[in-house]
Structure 1
């Protein structure tokens, strides 16, 4: 019997990569892509563990899951730093920011 590719294995890998790239977009896109990739990876892992001899492409799932975890952590750190920054400085206009920098020089 010929082995089938795991469903969504390539999509999990792509979403894992996009979660790392998306963490630069205020962390929101990275968070979304990471969560979707992790949910799909858990479903694919469960399917693979039932019948490992029927499927191939599990390496894409593992790699995508690792990338999604990294993207999730980076996005979380970015969001936390963004919240801390807004809590400390608030929403400043560029002129106010330049004035504050001049005061500290």
Structure 2
């Protein structure tokens, strides 16, 4: 596996990074040429996302629920294939909170599948 990191979609990735949007919803104001792949099926379900509602105190529950979804999600295999095919991948997300977001959970899951 090459390098994988997360970055807000509104920030500029490094040159040569393959940009994968991991949000279910397209972020406002982002042009399609800023994204190489939109893998919305790897994002949390609407129920899990809405229960979290970006409230940091709910992040632990969100992490548990989203991780459970990832274990059974076939889109994870697709993401792993993308990562295997590129030396540098950046997982893009739209949330303002750089610590409490689905991309952080997804990255941890990819590094340490439970």
TM over 0.5: no
Q: Normalization by structure 2: what TM-score?
A: 0.26
* Bigger helix share: 1
* Bigger strand share: 2
